[in-house]
Amino acid sequence: MKNIVIIGNGVAGITAARHIRKRSDATITVISAETDYFFSRTALMYIYMGHMKFEHTKPYEDWFWEKNNINLMNDYVESVDTDGRRLQLRSGNTMMWDVLLLATGSKPNKFGWPGQDLKGVGGMYSWQDLQNIEQYTKNIRRAVIVGGGLIGIELAEMLLSRNIEVTFLVRESSFWNIVLPPEESAMINRHIREHHIDLRLETELRKILPDAHGRVRAVITGPGEEIECGFVGLTAGVSPNIGFLKSSNIKTDRGILINEFFETNIPGVYAAGDCAQFEKPLPGRRAIEQVWYTGRMHGETVARTICGERTAYRPGPWFNSAKFLDIGYQVYGDIINPLPDHLENLYWEHPDGKHAIRIAWDRETRQLKGINLMGIRFRHDVCDAWLRRSAALKEVVQDLKAALFDPEFYKSYEQEIVNLYNDKFPDNRITSGKKKRLATLINF
């Protein structure tokens, strides 16, 4: 009977463990020192905000693991010996394995800022990060967040919930403009400031200053301004957590290099989740996929291969969703900034500045390539199907009602998109939009 060891109890590792157990009687051991039991990492912010307790974030009861014969070990892996198939643990113990799955996730980026290891400085990724934030934000007046992205905006919302003033340092000229197109990025700039967050664009962190007790008291920005604060959140992205592999012969780049079957260069060693990097990413996909749902797909797919059903990763079109304070965000397919030359797009924004739809298509074929949504929700199954079969732009615009999420409860704006389409393509107008949309709604 095989001895399968999984390092990491995040969504990729635990999904793999569950699906291996469904298919195999192998011995399964999951090693992690973050928490005793798997929890939903995306819910961390709601624990701080008082919306949930930690026990509410655990998808499975504590007895689930013993009942399903999945061994949990609370320890850190210090090094991996692939020749001896042995793990060296921080506790001093060793662990042997026949099959090894590396699912060690990510760690917050640090860029060598003076003072980055002071008390009251930390990221927002792990359970330990949340405990650090809880400890060092009690009774403070102001916090500084460094780095504009999804984790940064979540941390800002957390701090605002406790009436802590927030200064947000973003080195780019507009919030998250490495991903969001200009109009959507400008929308989020406005929205951040409407929530009384002190957003500083094109402003970098220079150093973090300590008080007499080794705790943060202020930051110095690139222009030389000193900003007093009691906490500094480092949210300038994350990177694969692979430092423990330095002495191994497992090939790495930014992450652990894998093929489409999640196999590394070492037979019997696999990697999945945030720590994995595809050597040949699929068209329209990222080399490193640091999203919750992709971690789940990684775990299920690699479990099949580990159990003898060698299965290639075929996730379909790219998708992501998030929330910028009160504005929901969804992206389907290829919406990147800047758009490549072979794509064209329509952009509509509501006068309230909080709702927007962007549709991108191939310039030559007029086939759908991506949809970006701000403050509006579309159905994943509809958008995914359009992208998988390269639906024609006209068909998509004409039948937008089919994609609306709970159309009876939310205002829809598909007619505005039809109008934009007709203005752009007067020789190929949509003339039966109302009839088509009514038929779609009836059949919804």
User: Over its length of 444 residues, how does the chain's per-residue pLDDT go in tens digits?
Assistant: 699 999 999 999 999 999 999 999 999 999 999 999 999 999 999 999 999 999 999 999 999 999 999 999 999 999 999 999 999 999 999 999 999 999 999 998 999 999 999 999 999 999 999 999 999 999 999 999 999 889 999 999 999 999 999 999 999 999 999 999 999 999 999 999 999 999 999 999 999 999 999 999 999 999 999 999 999 999 998 999 999 999 899 999 999 999 999 999 999 999 999 999 999 999 888 999 999 999 999 999 999 999 999 999 999 999 999 999 999 999 999 888 898 999 999 999 999 999 999 999 999 999 999 999 999 999 999 999 999 999 999 999 999 989 988 766 667 788 899 999 999 999 999 986 444 443 333 332
Chain position carrying tokens 């934000």? 137
Residue 231: its H or E element: strand 231-234
Fold classification of 3-107+239-306 is FAD/NAD(P)-binding domain (3.50.50)
In words, the CATH class of domain 121-236 is alpha beta
Residues 150 and 325: their CA atoms lie apart, in Å, by 10
Q: What are phi and psi of 396, to 5 degrees?
A: -65, -50
DSSP per-residue string spanning 353-422: SS-EEEEEEETTT-BEEEEEEES--B-HHHHHHHHHTT-BHHHHHHTGGGGBSSTTTS---HHHHHHHHH
Are the CB atoms for 221 and 206 separated by under 8 Å?
yes
- The structure tokens listed for 158 are 């957390």
Fold of 319-443: Enolase-like; domain 1 (3.30.390)
**So where are the chain's domains?**
3-107+239-306, 121-236, 319-443
Whether 121-236 and 3-107+239-306 are alike in CATH topology: the answer is yes
